Amino acid sequence: MSELLERIQNKLNNDLNGVVVSSQLDYDFPVFIVEKANIHHVLETLKNDGFKYLTTMCGIHFPDNAGGEFAMMYQLHSLERNERIRVKCFMSEKDLDMPTATDLWASANWMEREAFDFYGFKFKGHPNLKRILNMDEMNYHPLRKEYPLEDASRHDKEDKYFGR
């Protein structure tokens, strides 16, 4: 276990009473899984600990993960210590409500709008939650894995050319 992973895990568990569900090291990148109900407190604690830069925030769809089909991932950076960490929380497709992080980082505004636009996350407290890249008339969220990868109506492809 890396020193950074251990330090952050201990800090979160001590300050927020065992909030970390699990943690791991992915390619020297500490990853912390927390419950969705605690995500705002975790982000606020990490920001106060020096992770002042929100590098990335994005939605993820795992259609085969029953009960945790969707995830929200935050990548934070401490410029002072040159440390980067990732925080994730998982949720059911029936409960895509998330607390906004715009009160912590102004840059979360557009990232949350993108997650809403492409996945359907609803950020409570967001100042202007509306589509950012797709048309307002769209009644679906295009990055959800709800559609087949190939067009079944096409007859011009032969499987032998594609190694099938």
Q: What is the side-by-side order of every strand in the sheet holding 20-26?
A: 20-26, 29-34, 83-91, 70-78, 53-61
| Token pair belonging to 78 | 């401490």
pLDDT (tens digit per residue) in 11-67: 999 889 889 999 999 988 899 999 999 999 999 999 999 999 999 999 999 999 999
Entry pTM: 0.87
Q: Which amino acid, one-letter code, is at 7?
A: R
Q: What is the 3-state secondary structure (H, E, C) of 105-162?
A: CCCHHHHHHHHHHHHCCEEECCCCCCCCCCCCCCCCCCCCCCCCCCCCCCCCCCHHHH
CATH assignment of the domain containing 83: 3.30.460.80
- Provide the number of structural domains found in the chain: 1
Residue 140 confidence (pLDDT): 87
pLDDT (tens digit per residue) in 123-163: 999 999 999 999 999 888 989 988 776 667 777 766 666 66
Residue 114 confidence (pLDDT): 96
Residue 79 confidence (pLDDT): 95
| Host domain of residue 41 | 3-162
In angstroms, the CA 139 to CA 87 distance is 30
Count the neighbouring beta carbons within 10 Å of the beta carbon of residue 9. Answer: 17
pLDDT (tens digit per residue) in 63-88: 999 999 999 999 999 999 999 999 99
First to last CA, the chain: 42
